[in-house]
Amino acid sequence: MRLIEFYQGRGLKIVKGEGQYVWDEQGNRYLDLHAGHGVAFLGHRNKIVLEYLQKQMSEIMTLTTAFDTPIREELAKELDNVKPDNLNNAFLLNSGSEAVELALKVSRKVTGRKKFVAFVNSFHGRTSGSLSVTWTRKYREPFEPLLGPIDFLRFNNIDDLKKIDESTAAVIVEPVQGEGGVIPANDEFMKGLREITTEKGIILIIDEVQSGFGRTGKIWAHQHFGIDPDIMTAGKAIGGGFPVSATFMPDWIAEKLGEGDHGTTYGGNPLAAAAVVGSIKALKADNVPEQAKVKGEIFIKMLQETLSDFKSIREVRGKGLMIGVDLKLNPGLAIKVLQDNRVLSLKAGVTTIRFLSPYTITHEDMEVAVDATRKGVLATERKTTSS
């Protein structure tokens, strides 16, 4: 049996993970700043998450949400500790794409409108609905026609917001574009977006699948801008490594939904609920957002200072521990050199090296990563010069 692969292989067999590290089959240790596309933000095999999963596995693993269970009751209480103030309702699913699908469906039902607005360089998933509001043409075009109509506006461009009209059901935005190049939104743009959507009765969906759960220095990245979403999607880090996502919404939206409007076989299962409970407890116990804020500022500064003499560096940017090193060249060789130096990273956009570090990263780890990045950029420049 051949397993279908949609991702290019990295030529590395990983057999173990612990904290911010993984090990290959030869016993070599790697600093994991890839972290499963950011899933392992709380570290591989976080002790509190493991404790809750192991306990739940000894009781019951599979149960539809049509039945009550103690772990879901505990989940509801713990979600109160991290949810945005205005979002009192959550529905659990399995992936970020699924959370976005629900958000889009709900927006159409509640508003009675059809059109969506998304942004250049956005990424919201690969299922048909979430793919419709994803910018990258090579992802979309083979599968069109998709959901529509969709308008793509320029990210961080306040003038483009004037193009949003009353036929729009929802605007969906990432507070930090991840796949698109680790591009943080600016304050004027996010506040302007909130103002115009409120004025025109449009639902504002904030996609926190990658940016959320402490990674940027606050529990949710949109909190940097002092605004509230109408719907928020979350995923990746909220399960501490277990596949789970959530769509959050306020009472006035949840009250308009009825039985059969959506469903899921695995969403909100006992193991997923236990993983989220453990993740929330870990987040609060170790003051994770503050650690991400402080460590992210140090890491970004170290990268900026060390790479400042390279002509191929366009910018080092990010928020918290969501960091991008944007080159003027293809970053593929640099990412390979990083891996050869036992630091795992991933690509974002066309030219960006992306680091999605676990919050447990140390100053020594950062020094290793910065040194490996320098070697990667140097190799890239030398190859370009010799070509």
**SS3 per residue for 280-305:** HHHHHHCCHHHHHHHHHHHHHHHHHH
Beta bridge partners of 128: none
Instruction: In whole angstroms, give the CA distance from residue 138 to residue 374.
Output: 30
Which of 266, 285, 304 corresponds to the end of one domain?
285
Q: Which tens digit of pLDDT belongs to each residue from 35-50?
A: 999 999 999 999 999 9
User: pTM higher than 0.95, yes or no?
Assistant: yes
| Domain CATH number, residue 300 | 3.90.1150.10
| Dihedral over alpha carbons 170, 175, 181, 187 (to 10 degrees) | 110
Residues 310 and 181 both lie in one domain:
no
Q: Is the dihedral of CA 45, 101, 317, 347 positive or negative?
A: positive
Q: Is residue 42 part of a domain?
A: no
Q: pLDDT at residue 317 above 70?
A: yes
Contact yes or no for 283/214 (Cβ under 8 A): yes
Residues 60 and 190 both lie in one domain:
yes
Contact yes or no for 146/124 (Cβ under 8 A): no
Q: Which tens digit of pLDDT belongs to each residue from 241-287?
A: 999 999 999 999 999 999 999 999 999 999 999 999 999 999 999 99
Instruction: In whole angstroms, give the CA distance from residue 7 to residue 24.
Output: 19
Predicted pLDDT at 295: 98
Residues 146 and 244 both lie in one domain:
yes
Residues 166 and 298 both lie in one domain:
no
Which of 285, 317, 343 corresponds to the end of one domain?
285
Nearest CA-CA partner of 219 in 284, 135, 155, 314: 284
Q: pLDDT at residue 384 above 90?
A: no
Q: Is residue 130 part of a domain?
A: yes
Contact yes or no for 135/281 (Cβ under 8 A): no
126 is in an annotated binding site: yes
Residues 219 and 293 both lie in one domain:
no
Q: Is residue 41 part of a domain?
A: no
Q: Is residue 28 part of a domain?
A: yes
Residues 223 and 299 both lie in one domain:
no
Q: Which tens digit of pLDDT belongs to each residue from 76-96?
A: 999 999 999 999 999 999 999
Q: Is residue 8 part of a domain?
A: no
Predicted pLDDT at 387: 67
213 is in an annotated binding site: no
Phi, psi of 246 (to 5 degrees): -150, 145
Q: Is residue 1 part of a domain?
A: no
Residues 26 and 54 both lie in one domain:
no
208 is in an annotated binding site: yes
Residues 305 and 245 both lie in one domain:
no
Residues 187 and 323 both lie in one domain:
no
Place of tokens 């969403």: 267
Q: What is the number of structural domains in the chain?
A: 2
C-alpha separations of 197 from 32, 145, 255 in Å: 39, 27, 20
Residues 262 and 358 both lie in one domain:
no
Residues 199 and 62 both lie in one domain:
yes
Pairing outcome for strands 203-208 and 231-234 = parallel
| Domain CATH number, residue 117 | 3.40.640.10
**Domain limits at 367?**
14-32+287-386
Let me know how many helices (H) and strands (E) the chain has, helices first.
12, 17
Residues 248 and 352 both lie in one domain:
no
Which of 235, 260, 285 corresponds to the end of one domain?
285
